[in-house]
């Protein structure tokens, strides 16, 4: 019997429209340049670093452990461009770097997200398991509160707080432990085959791949829409 449903965040529950994170990175770069009094020519270097950061998020490894926390991301960036920052300036940069998402927020991946979560909450314990990037868990929690869906979750597993990243099976294990459920009593839904599906599977958690676009599924158990979650759980894991 399934007792816990965990979900990925980005590209599963929320997504960016328009320029999205790239647009926020432009704003971050401009803020860093202004705060440190740098020449505008530094912007290309800063944006190139953000491109590298995206790759580090896609392929987490020991080599890019610096990318786990926003503080170390900024440290790495300043080292890369050969610039020092006063303590007060570093704090200003960190604050803007992590919080600008609140002024330029994403949207729901599907308009039915609140309804889906509300229905899941009636039947299961519900957890969020999310790798974080420039925005730490504490700010993502504020974002989810602003979007009025934080209330549907019983536990939040953010990589910057646990210092673990999907697909590490340990992050799924922590969610199960905190929710007092066995892995085989749990289901995880996410859009990444490597991070979510294979990560959950390695933790012995029942995986469901979310593929909303017309792409060929890599996994046996998948959904095209979040509204299919409950039916898919019954069909794949409760028969």
Is residue 5 a contact partner of residue 186, using CB atoms and an 8 Å limit? yes
Average of per-residue pLDDT across 62-85: 95
Residues 70 and 122 in one domain: no
Average of per-residue pLDDT across 140-166: 98
Residues 203 and 233 in one domain: yes
Is the pLDDT reported for residue 80 higher than 90?
yes
Q: Which pLDDT score, from 0 to 100, does residue 218 have?
A: 83
Q: Which of 60, 87, 102 is the last residue of a domain?
A: 102
| C-alpha span between 125 and 121 (Å, rounded) | 6
**Contacts (Cβ under 8 Å, ≥6 apart) of 166:** 8, 60, 129, 131, 159, 172, 190, 192, 195, 196, 199
Residues 64 and 122 in one domain: no
Is the pLDDT reported for residue 234 higher than 80?
yes
Our count of domains for the chain comes to 2
Is residue 68 a contact partner of residue 165, using CB atoms and an 8 Å limit? yes
What values do phi and psi take at 125, rounded to 5?
-75, 145
Is residue 89 a contact partner of residue 35, using CB atoms and an 8 Å limit? yes
pLDDT band at 19 (very low <50, low <70, confident <90, very high): confident
Residues 124 and 31 in one domain: no
Please indicate whether residue 63 or residue 45 has the higher confidence score (pLDDT): 45
Residues 197 and 164 in one domain: yes
What confidence tens digit (pLDDT) does each residue in 168-224 have?
999 999 999 999 999 999 999 999 999 999 999 999 999 999 999 877 788 899 999
Look up the domain containing 86 and give its range: 20-102
Residues 142 and 233 in one domain: yes
Residues 142 and 228 in one domain: yes
Average of per-residue pLDDT across 48-66: 93
**Contacts (Cβ under 8 Å, ≥6 apart) of 209:** 189, 190, 191, 193, 196, 197, 217, 218, 219, 221, 222, 223
| C-alpha span between 47 and 45 (Å, rounded) | 6
Residues 147 and 202 in one domain: yes
Residues 144 and 207 in one domain: yes
Share of the chain above pLDDT 70, in %: 100
- DSSP of 146-192, one letter per residue? HTT-GGG-SEEEEHHHHT--TT-HHHHHHHHHHTT--GGGEEEEES-
Q: Which of 41, 75, 102 is the last residue of a domain?
A: 102
Instruction: Name the average pLDDT for the chain.
Output: 96
Is the pLDDT reported for residue 239 higher than 90?
no
Q: Which of 102, 124, 156 is the last residue of a domain?
A: 102
Residues 97 and 117 in one domain: no
Q: Which pLDDT score, from 0 to 100, does residue 215 have?
A: 75
Is the pLDDT reported for residue 119 higher than 90?
yes
CATH number, domain at 125? 3.40.50.1000
Question: Which residue is associated with the tokens 């799924």?
Answer: 172
Average of per-residue pLDDT across 16-29: 94
- pTM metric for this prediction: 0.94
Share of the chain above pLDDT 90, in %: 93
Residues 176 and 133 in one domain: yes
Residues 231 and 113 in one domain: yes
């Amino acid at each position: 019997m399934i007792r816990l449903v965990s979900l990925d965040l980005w590209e599963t529950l929320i997504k960016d429209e328009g320029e999205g994170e790239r647009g926020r990175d432009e704003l971050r770069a401009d803020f860093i340049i202004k705060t440190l009094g740098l020449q505008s020519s530094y912007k290309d270097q800063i944006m190139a670093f953000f491109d590298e950061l995206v790759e580090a998020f896609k392929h987490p490894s020991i080599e890019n452990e610096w990318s786990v926390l926003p503080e170390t991301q900024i440290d790495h960036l300043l080292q890369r461009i050969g610039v020092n920052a006063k303590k007060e300036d570093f704090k200003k940069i960190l604050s803007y770097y992590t919080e600008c998402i609140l002024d330029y927020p994403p949207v729901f991946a599907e308009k039915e997200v609140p309804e889906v979560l509300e229905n899941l909450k009636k039947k299961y314990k519900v957890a969020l398991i999310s790798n974080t990037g420039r925005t730490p868990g504490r700010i993502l929690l504020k974002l989810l509160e602003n979007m009025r869906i934080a209330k549907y979750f019983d536990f939040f597993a953010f990589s910057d707080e646990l210092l673990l990243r999907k697909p590490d099976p340990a992050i799924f294990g922590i969610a199960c432990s905190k929710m007092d459920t066995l892995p085989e009593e749990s289901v995880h839904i996410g859009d990444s085959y490597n991070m979510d599906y294979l990560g959950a599977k390695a933790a012995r958690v029942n995986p469901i791949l979310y593929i909303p676009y017309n792409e060929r599924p890599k996994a046996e158990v998948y959904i095209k829409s979040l509204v299919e979650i409950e039916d898919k759980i019954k069909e794949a894991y409760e028969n």
